[in-house]
């Protein structure tokens, strides 16, 4: 804010041509005899408050450094818009004059030209409010917020300005934001012109601006944003250049309005140019590796498309090859030269440097997490060869903890030749959450939940309980057909060994399992889990639970009536898991297989004597056009031992419903008595599912399910095979995932289902 005329006049009246500091160096500095505060404009900050923020005081030596610090401190209060401090030398010392202009106070905030949106919604965004101090930075920030709000609502060309009117007598200001609303813009279609090498469908996948669709209310698709359009142009250029079109040009997109006033077509014009290829490929400066050893690792080869993305990958490949042997300082410089029409020769110049070992590992930025929580994730230790591949893996491990907003790991000189220190700099983020919500599924019906989690829990850190790397979870679910209470705690490094140990207490009460009985379980589960390598892990569980079958209706099948009452089940179960999936959310490739066994009763005690085996395999294949083929298979069996007479109703195997055979009613595939499912002791199920993208966050699906449940233990005859086929939708929405499936029975086996079934799961997160 510019100084007012009052301030300039006040400063001019006290400016002097002689500095009080023009004394010989041997002369001691003069003392401050008095301090006079002068105001340019209204007095809104008291003299005592100004003096309280100054180091210069009566009776202290006058100092240029102290005056400079006083000016900074006064500005920092936020109440001062202009300040000058002068010294007037006198015979007995220095008179200090402080000229102050205080910030104006906001009297009113007006919005002019607002009609397409609610003014109340805009006012909630504003920092500038009546009674607050006026600052230019807040005014500009508010202008940007108004502009972004309009753009977010589809009013792309709206302009926002502001003006201030100050009353110099009261130092109060009226702020007016002028909004020039433009017509609402909704993107109905995105078109490309000039694209011959790639279809428009593929180019649309490269940009974040999307046309309006049925999910726009959640995804904001169809809205235009100038900043996003600039990023889209860059994304299209990068896409073309990574496919060899180095001279590509993408023009500013044109907006073509349709008959409906708000609807527009967005048109990107592309000039593709020529596609470049690699001519000769050469390497120099390499002594540790021969050229013949390096060549097989290159993505860019003679005749390949010249791609900056692949060149960067080749640089990383060379750096990793050297870095794995401790050559931290290796330098790789790619150079290209013209080798003919649309041909670039490619040369990699290497400066190897010398190998290094790890000195200290210095950790900083961890305001919550204990040092050991970070240090135990490091794949290198002091004295090790400085393996950059392992250092990169350490960074990824730390990010995978999900404790940190950002992780930087880099080397620094230790002062000892051949030794590099490892610097780990982290930026903490919130790791606890409180969630509540509601959901509905075709099995659970309506259900609500409340959950508290802390993924960086520390049971010894009272009262904060944060920073130890433990996992804590407490969840309550309550619905029309079930009640669940769960509390769990897991220590991933038990006694500082890479051994996860956990305990969970639970209470479950379910009425959805059957129409003729209800089931209640409560107890606890203790387990250990050990990673064998990056993709293989084993787990050992011990579970003790009290199980009650109650509410059995008259006429219920004998298999259910016989199990009415309460039983204590003591069970141990080892399992082995193999997991190479690329993502646990939307998996595109990889395999997850789990082999689990369990044993209850006998020497373990309890009232249930059974054992069982289960093998569950999922394999994901990523196909062209981002389609995914999912192959699933499961086989299970359960039987009795140690004098057990029969497998209880609650330990039998069932199929049917949204989690397996989707063309059948819940639990309707397998043995039944009088139409009531009673379960079996052998299970086999396989699924083939093909999913494909429809629009952003929406995928379609075709599926085929087949399986059976046989009564006898470990009996896998196909006489009761049931099969179905169907279609589905997969929606990934901000409120939670939604899965919709419609399956129709083909072979019914021993099921009572005769018509198709619609299965859906909806989750809401607030």
Sheet hosting strand 93-102, strand order edge to edge: 32-39, 93-102, 80-90
Q: Give the span between the Cα atoms of 161 and 179, in whole angstroms.
A: 7
SS3 labels along 252-305: CCEEEECCCCCEEEEEEEEECCCCCEEEEEEEECCCCCCHHHHHHHCCCCCCCE
Contacts of 408 (CB under 8 A, 6+ apart): 395, 423, 424, 425, 426
Pairing of strands 172-180, 105-112: parallel
129 φ, ψ to 5°? -135, 155
Of 3.30.1330.80, 3.40.50.300, 3.10.20.310, 1.20.1340.10, which CATH number belongs to 186-271?
3.10.20.310
Task: Decide if 105-180 and 357-428 have a common fold.
Answer: yes
**Chain centroid offset of residue 648 CA:** 43
Helices (H) and strands (E) in the chain, counts: 13, 34
pLDDT tens digits for range 433-446: 887 777 666 677 77
Q: Give the span between the Cα atoms of 330 and 316, in whole angstroms.
A: 11
Sheet hosting strand 105-112, strand order edge to edge: 105-112, 172-180, 159-167
Q: Give the span between the Cα atoms of 123 and 129, in whole angstroms.
A: 9
Level-2 CATH architecture, domain 576-763: Beta Barrel (2.40)
DSSP states of 66-120: HHHHHHHHHHHTSSEEEEEEEEEEETTEEEEEEEEEEPPEEEEEEEES--SS-HH
CATH number of 357-428: 3.10.20.310
Q: Give the CA distances from residue 680 to residues 78, 591, 654, 675, 732, in Å, rounded to whole numbers and listed in that order.
A: 75, 28, 7, 14, 35
Q: How far apart are the first and last CA of the chain?
A: 43
pLDDT tens digits for range 519-546: 999 999 999 999 998 899 999 999 999 9
Kindly report the length of the chain.
766
Strands annotated E in 381-428: 404-413, 419-428
Q: Hey, which residues does 450 pair with through a beta bridge?
A: 436, 476
Residue 104 and residue 170 in contact, taking contact as beta carbons nearer than 8 Å: no
Q: Give the span between the Cα atoms of 759 and 440, in whole angstroms.
A: 11
Burial 465-482 (b: 16+ CB within 10 A, else e): bbbbbbbbbebbbebebb
Burial of 93 (0-12, 13-18, 19+ CB in 10 A): buried
Q: What pLDDT sits at residue 763?
A: 52
Q: Give the CA distances from residue 196 to residues 204, 256, 270, 273, 741, in Å, rounded to whole numbers and listed in that order.
A: 14, 22, 9, 10, 38
CA dihedral 554, 557, 558, 564 (to 10 degrees): -60
Of 3.40.50.12280, 3.10.20.310, 3.30.465.10, 3.40.50.300, which CATH number belongs to 277-351?
3.10.20.310
Q: What is the CA radius of gyration of the chain?
A: 36
Residue 152 and residue 85 in contact, taking contact as beta carbons nearer than 8 Å: no
Q: Give the CA distances from residue 689 to residues 121, 476, 693, 709, 742, in Å, rounded to whole numbers and listed in that order.
A: 45, 33, 14, 21, 13
Residue 228 and residue 251 in contact, taking contact as beta carbons nearer than 8 Å: no
Q: Give the span between the Cα atoms of 31 and 34, in whole angstroms.
A: 9
Contacts 24+ apart (CB under 8 A), 642-645: 642/601, 642/602, 642/609, 643/609, 644/601, 644/608, 644/609, 644/610
Q: Give the span between the Cα atoms of 668 and 676, in whole angstroms.
A: 8
Contacts 24+ apart (CB under 8 A), 85-92: 85/56, 86/14, 86/15, 86/16, 87/16, 87/19, 87/20, 87/21, 87/62, 88/14, 88/16, 88/20, 89/18, 89/20, 89/30, 90/33, 92/33
State the fold for domain 5-102: Ubiquitin-like (UB roll) (3.10.20)
Q: Which alpha helices (H) appear in 466-617, and where do they start and end?
A: 558-561
Residue 160 and residue 140 in contact, taking contact as beta carbons nearer than 8 Å: no
Read off the tokens for 534.
Answer: 């990056």
Q: Give the span between the Cα atoms of 304 and 306, in whole angstroms.
A: 6
Q: Give the span between the Cα atoms of 110 and 542, in whole angstroms.
A: 67
Q: Give the CA distances from residue 761 to residues 443, 447, 660, 732, in Å, rounded to whole numbers and listed in that order.
A: 9, 11, 13, 12
Q: Indicate whether this model's pTM tops 0.75.
A: no
Please state the domain extents for the chain: 5-102, 105-180, 186-271, 277-351, 357-428, 576-763
Read off the tokens for 496.
Answer: 């500082």
3-state secondary structure of 660: coil
Count of beta carbons in the 10 Å neighbourhood of residue 295: 13
Q: Which of 340, 365, 357, 479 has the alpha carbon at shortest distance from 422?
A: 357
pLDDT tens digits for range 377-388: 999 999 999 999
Read off the tokens for 657.
Answer: 């419903």
CATH match of 105-180 with 3.10.20.310: yes
Read off the tokens for 599.
Answer: 């044993």
Residues of the chain scoring pLDDT < 50 = 15-25, 764-766
Q: Which of 85, 38, 33 has the alpha carbon at shortest distance from 59?
A: 33
Q: Hey, which residues does 109 pair with through a beta bridge?
A: 175
Burial of 88 (0-12, 13-18, 19+ CB in 10 A): middle
Residue 466 and residue 457 in contact, taking contact as beta carbons nearer than 8 Å: yes
């Amino acid at each position: 804010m510019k100084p007012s005329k009052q301030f300039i006049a006040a400063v001019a009246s006290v400016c002097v041509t002689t500095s009080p500091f023009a004394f010989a160096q041997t002369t001691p500095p003069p003392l401050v005899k008095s301090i006079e505060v002068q105001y340019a404009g209204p007095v809104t900050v008291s003299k005592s408050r100004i003096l309280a923020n100054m180091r210069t005081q009566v009776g202290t030596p006058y100092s240029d450094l102290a005056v400079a610090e006083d000016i900074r401190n006064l500005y920092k209060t936020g109440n001062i818009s202009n300040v000058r401090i002068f010294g007037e030398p006198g015979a007995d010392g220095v008179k200090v004059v402080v000229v102050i202009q205080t910030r104006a106070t906001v009297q009113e905030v007006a919005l002019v030209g607002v009609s397409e949106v609610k003014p109340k919604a805009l006012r909630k965004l504003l920092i500038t409010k009546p009674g607050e101090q006026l600052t230019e930075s807040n005014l500009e920030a508010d202008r940007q917020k108004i502009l972004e709000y309009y753009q977010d609502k589809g009013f792309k060309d709206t302009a926002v300005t502001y003006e201030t009117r100050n009353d110099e007598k009261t130092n109060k200001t009226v702020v007016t934001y002028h909004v020039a609303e433009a017509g609402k813009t909704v993107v109905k279609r995105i078109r490309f012109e000039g694209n011959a090498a790639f279809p428009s469908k593929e180019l649309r996948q490269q940009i974040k601006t999307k046309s309006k669709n049925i999910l726009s209310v959640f995804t904001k698709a169809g809205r235009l944003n100038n900043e996003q359009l600039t990023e889209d142009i860059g994304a299209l250029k990068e896409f073309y250049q990574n496919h060899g079109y180095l001279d590509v040009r993408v023009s500013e997109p044109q907006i073509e309005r349709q008959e409906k006033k708000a609807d527009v077509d967005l048109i990107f014009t592309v000039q593709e140019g020529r596609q470049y290829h690699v001519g000769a490929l050469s390497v120099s400066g390499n002594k540790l590796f021969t050229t013949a050893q390096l060549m097989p690792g290159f993505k860019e080869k003679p005749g390949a498309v010249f791609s900056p993305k692949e060149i960067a990958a080749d640089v990383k490949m060379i750096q990793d090859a050297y870095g794995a042997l401790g050559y931290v300082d290796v330098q790789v410089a790619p150079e290209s030269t013209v080798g003919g029409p649309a041909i670039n020769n490619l040369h990699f110049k290497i400066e190897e440097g010398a190998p290094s070992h790890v000195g200290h590992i210095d950790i900083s930025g961890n305001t919550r997490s204990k040092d050991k929580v970070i240090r135990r994730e490091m794949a290198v230790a002091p004295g090790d060869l400085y393996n950059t591949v392992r250092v990169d893996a350490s960074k990824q491990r730390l990010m995978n903890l999900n404790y940190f907003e950002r992780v930087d790991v880099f080397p620094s000189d230790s002062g000892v030749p051949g030794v590099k220190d490892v610097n780990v700099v982290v930026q903490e983020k919130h790791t606890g959450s409180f969630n509540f919500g509601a959901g509905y599924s075709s099995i659970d019906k309506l259900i609500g939940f409340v959950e508290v989690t802390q993924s960086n829990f520390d049971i010894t850190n009272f009262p904060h309980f944060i920073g130890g790397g433990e996992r804590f979870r407490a969840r309550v679910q309550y619905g029309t057909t079930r009640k669940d209470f769960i509390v769990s705690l897991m220590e991933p490094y038990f006694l500082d060994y890479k051994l996860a140990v956990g305990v969970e207490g639970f209470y479950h009460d379910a009425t959805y399992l059957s129409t003729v009985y209800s089931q209640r379980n409560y107890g606890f589960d203790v387990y250990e889990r050990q990673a064998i390598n990056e993709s293989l892990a084993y787990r050992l569980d011990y579970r003790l639970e009290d199980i009650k079958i109650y509410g059995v209706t008259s006429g219920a099948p004998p298999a259910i009536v016989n199990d009415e009452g309460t039983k204590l089940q003591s069970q141990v179960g080892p399992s082995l898991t193999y997991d190479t999936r690329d993502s646990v959310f939307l998996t595109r490739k990889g395999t997850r297989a789990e082999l689990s066994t369990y044993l209850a009763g006998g020497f373990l005690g309890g009232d249930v004597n059974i054992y069982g085996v289960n093998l569950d395999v999922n394999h994901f294949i990523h196909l062209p056009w981002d389609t995914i083929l999912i192959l699933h298979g499961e086989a299970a069996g359960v039987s009795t031992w140690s004098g057990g007479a029969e497998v209880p109703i609650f330990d039998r195997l069932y199929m049917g419903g949204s989690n397996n055979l989707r063309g059948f009613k819940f639990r309707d595939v397998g043995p039944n008595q009088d139409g009531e499912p009673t379960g079996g002791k052998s299970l086999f199920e396989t699924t083939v599912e093909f999913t494909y993208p429809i629009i952003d966050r929406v995928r379609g699906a075709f599926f085929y399910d087949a399986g059976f449940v046989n009564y006898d233990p470990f009996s896998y005859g196909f006489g009761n095979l049931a099969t179905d086929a169907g279609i589905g939708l997969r929606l990934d929405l901000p409120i939670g995932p939604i899965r919709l499936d419609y399956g129709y029975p083909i072979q019914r086996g021993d099921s009572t289902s005769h018509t198709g079934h619609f299965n859906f799961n909806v989750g809401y997160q607030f």
